[in-house]
A and B are shown apart, each in its own frame.
Chain A
Amino acid sequence: MKFTVPIFNIKNLNFNVKNQSVLSNISLDIFAHEYIAIIGPNGGGKTTLIRMLLGLEKPTSGDIKIFGKKFKDFKDWHKIGYVPQRASHVDSSFPATVLDIVKMGRTSKKSFFSTFSDIDKELVYDAMIKMDVLNLKDKMIGTLSGGQRQRVMIARALASKPEILILDEPNTGVDMVSQKSFYALLRKLNKEEGITIVFITHDIGVIADDIARLFTINQKAIICNNPKQTLSCQEMSELYGIDAHLLHNHKHEH
């Protein structure tokens, strides 16, 4: 039983596009220090949910509170680190070194004309060390591999000293070896730094041991408090809109 104010408190959230329901009656809480994975079929509304949590989309109806505040009253955006889906796909000609990108993480904290203070510098270097990209600091972002770019994007998010890190399938286009070390880093950030992690993924098997809760989103949300327990056929059917029993039997025929 948790008594603290949740980082996100979502109540009866609905999102329609042209009268078509994308998300229906979603209610959930995300608490500090949790590690939550979000799974679901493509087009099921996972990214839409994340975008609404970040204020990038407005819900059709329902309530979202961040750190106990409504969107219009919430000012501490540096507490939230966001790594979008396309994070590892960077425009190769964009004039940015790794250091330029990670420094962006401190931008919202700066006042006009201000230069980088020693604290800013320390946090930027700290984030680069944590994500193991310090040796790349002067490299152009466009010259890095998918895995390296992904770590740089997380370093940028970490530079703002976030309390929660929201990642939307950041593994797209990243090789298997980089993915494994990436999961280890996320685990470390959650366990050692206490950063809350919300992570949209398809690789649920790989991180099942790390996560505290699993949200399955396909228009509606199913919250699974014991992610190690495999989803039942009925739940899978509900989630993916297919008859999982048929799939299960079909698999056994071969």
Chain B
Amino acid sequence: MLEMLSYEFMQRAFLAGIIIAILASISGTFVVLKRYSMISETLAHSALVGVAVGLVAGFNPLWMAVIVAIACAWLIEYLRSEFSLYSDAVLAILLSGSLAISVIIVSLGGAFNNSLFVYLFGSILSVTQEDVIAIIAFGSLALGLLLMFSKELYFIAYDEEVAKTSGIKVKLLNFLLVSVVAVIIALSIRVVGSLLIGALMVIPTVSALQFRVGFIKTMLISLVIAVFSVILGMTLSFYFSLPSGATIVLCVLFIFISSLIVNRR
């Protein structure tokens, strides 16, 4: 363990990974409780459009991912609230649409190479000092906003209409939640990968729900599961030369199956 941490790139990866685990699990709790789990997959794919634009046009792919993911999050909320469309159908449409657009952009730009592969599946080696600073800065802001409105977001997840009749600005907070989730996803894709970040956001909360405890305890269990999975996944990835994102997801999946067995009624 100590040997692993003597490498500077591993220190960066661990720091970024742990922050992402905290952000993904806390935001994931609200997303899962709102029955909105698929939004993480859709936003992760839309972030790829930003990455593709960044790679082809020579902009920073991370920032482009943040911008496109936020725009997509707002589009989802707009379509969901203004048109009589099923939420899951909106997510499925935008997911396939985003993937198609990103593949076309990258193909036309001739950038279908290892760079995109890194964003699809994540790589601890690719985490730069700049990424860590961005994850800490924007991650703290995202976490601050989630905690600031946690009572309201919990109420909305429980019953959106009753929350609205209690004077809570439901529409505004729904936009805020999807925006925060979009930022967290865009920040995470370099470490976990866009195809796998959804798992880190959803599975820890679903595992925590199996313990049938109150809201705060569920969120804390979800956080512990996510952080533990990231540490274990990265360690295994380092020693066995496995892709980091996939290893982390397999670890969290293993914990999910264990939580199902332990809490079986």
A160 and B163 CA atoms in complex are apart in Å by 12
Name A59-113 residues within 8 Å CB distance of B: 75-78, 80, 82, 84, 93-97, 99-101, 104-105, 107-108, 110, 112-113
In the complex, are the beta carbons of B214 and A160 less than 8 A apart?
no
Give the residues in chain A near B241, CB-CB below 8 Å: none
A80 and B162 CA atoms in complex are apart in Å by 11
In the complex, are the beta carbons of A54 and B33 less than 8 A apart?
no
Instruction: From B159, B163, B217, name the one whose CB has the most chain A CB atoms within 10 angstroms.
Output: B159
- Is B152 interfacial (CB-CB < 8 Å)? yes
In the complex, are the beta carbons of B164 and A112 less than 8 A apart?
no
In the complex, are the beta carbons of B155 and A95 less than 8 A apart?
no
Assuming A77-B165, A77-B167, is B155 touching A107 (CB within 8 A)? yes
Give the residues in chain B near A26, CB-CB below 8 Å: none
Contact partner, A97, options B154, B209, B214, Cβ 8 Å = B214
- Is B215 interfacial (CB-CB < 8 Å)? yes
Assuming A55-B164, A78-B167, A107-B168, is B151 touching A96 (CB within 8 A)? no
Give the residues in chain A near B33, CB-CB below 8 Å: 94-95
- Is A140 interfacial (CB-CB < 8 Å)? yes
Give the residues in chain B near A56, CB-CB below 8 Å: 161, 164-165
In the complex, are the beta carbons of B159 and A93 less than 8 A apart?
no
- Is B113 interfacial (CB-CB < 8 Å)? no
A113 and B146 CA atoms in complex are apart in Å by 10
Give the residues in chain B near A78, CB-CB below 8 Å: 166-167
In the complex, are the beta carbons of A108 and B168 less than 8 A apart?
yes
Interface residue SS majority, chain B? helix
- Is B261 interfacial (CB-CB < 8 Å)? no
Question: In angstroms, how far is the closest chain A Cβ from the Cβ of B258?
Answer: 18
Give the residues in chain B near A80, CB-CB below 8 Å: 165
A100 and B168 CA atoms in complex are apart in Å by 17
Name B144-203 residues within 8 Å CB distance of A: 147-149, 151-152, 154-155, 158-159, 161-168
What residue of chain B has the Cβ atom nearest to residue A156's Cβ? B162
Instruction: From A82, A94, A104, A112, name the one whose CB has the most chain B CB atoms within 10 angstroms.
Output: A104
Give the residues in chain B near A160, CB-CB below 8 Å: 166
Give the residues in chain A near B167, CB-CB below 8 Å: 75-78, 108
| Binary CB contact string for chain A from 183 to 220 against chain B (1 if under 8 A, 0 otherwise) | 00000000000000000000000000000000000000
Contact partner, A93, options B147, B154, B166, B209, Cβ 8 Å = B209
Question: In angstroms, how far is the closest chain A Cβ from the Cβ of B84?
Answer: 12
Give the residues in chain A near B217, CB-CB below 8 Å: 95
A138 and B218 CA atoms in complex are apart in Å by 14
Give the residues in chain A near B148, CB-CB below 8 Å: 112-113
A113 and B152 CA atoms in complex are apart in Å by 11
In the complex, are the beta carbons of B165 and A95 less than 8 A apart?
no
Give the residues in chain A near B149, CB-CB below 8 Å: 112
A56 and B163 CA atoms in complex are apart in Å by 11
In the complex, are the beta carbons of A95 and B166 less than 8 A apart?
no
Question: In angstroms, how far is the closest chain A Cβ from the Cβ of B216?
Answer: 8
Give the residues in chain A near B159, CB-CB below 8 Å: 84
Contact partner, A82, options B151, B152, B158, B162, Cβ 8 Å = B162
A84 and B164 CA atoms in complex are apart in Å by 12
Contact partner, B215, options A96, A105, A107, A142, Cβ 8 Å = A96
The 4 closest A-B pairs by CB, nearest first: A77-B167, A95-B218, A108-B166, A108-B167
* 25 pairs, CB–CB < 8 Å, chain A vs chain B: A55-B164, A55-B165, A76-B167, A78-B167, A80-B165, A84-B162, A93-B209, A94-B33, A94-B158, A95-B217, A95-B218, A100-B154, A100-B215, A101-B158, A104-B151, A104-B158, A104-B166, A105-B166, A107-B151, A108-B166, A110-B151, A113-B147, A140-B213, A140-B214, A142-B212
